[in-house]
Amino acid sequence: YFFIVKVCLCSYWSTNILRSWSRKACPHYIFLTNYSRIGILQLHPGAINSIPSKSHLEIDVRDIDEKRRNYVIEKVHKSAIDISKIRGVELSEFKIINQDPPALSDKSVINAMEFAAKQLGLEYKLMISRAYHDSLFMARISPMGMIFIPCYKGYSHKPEEYASPEDMANGVQMLALTMAKLSLE
């Protein structure tokens, strides 16, 4: 669920939006399953010796619960409107770029993956992946689940990402056993 906030304002306004977003609009309990990140904050003219006249802010909000995700978006939008009025600046655009519904792993796939991990004697944990995977689209046509293998320092999608040959082999074995288990159902 990506959205863009475009405003003609000073950088102080952006700071207020960020503060409101992180403190008021998103109470701590929401972050148990919510993933929210500031992806882009552009200030114009962007010079060290100039007070910005406008800014462009992009926020990425994800959650496994679509209603809760939408609640966060509504709160951020309301905060942007309120802060604009208080600061006397124009909120020129609040645009939702993408709002795909979350995709939950199928219980039968999870059960098969747990079975495979136990059969192979592998430690595992259930986790939520908030990344924008193909699974969002596969879940629309088929039961879906994802297997993640350990990576160096937990790094993923960055140059420092590294998985040992042993962990990769375990992942392949787990996938094969999971598929074999599912083929019997």
Q: What residues does 7 pair with on adjacent strands?
A: 55, 91
**Confidence band, pLDDT 50/70/90 cuts, at residue 44:** confident
Residues facing 41 on adjacent strands: 57
Would you kindly state where each structural domain of the chain is located, as residue ranges? 2-98, 107-183
pLDDT of 10 over the 50 cut? no
Q: What's the pTM value of the predicted model, to 2 decimals?
A: 0.68
Convert the pLDDT of each residue in 122-156 to its tens digit. 999 998 887 777 888 888 899 999 999 999 998 88
Model confidence pLDDT, tens digit, residues 80-122? 888 888 878 888 888 888 888 888 899 999 999 999 999 999 9
The CATH code for residues 107-183 is: 1.10.150.900
Most confident of 30-34, 61-65, 175-179: 175-179
* In CATH, 2-98 is 1.20.20.10: no
Name 154's Cβ contacts closer than 8 Å, sequence gap at least 6: none
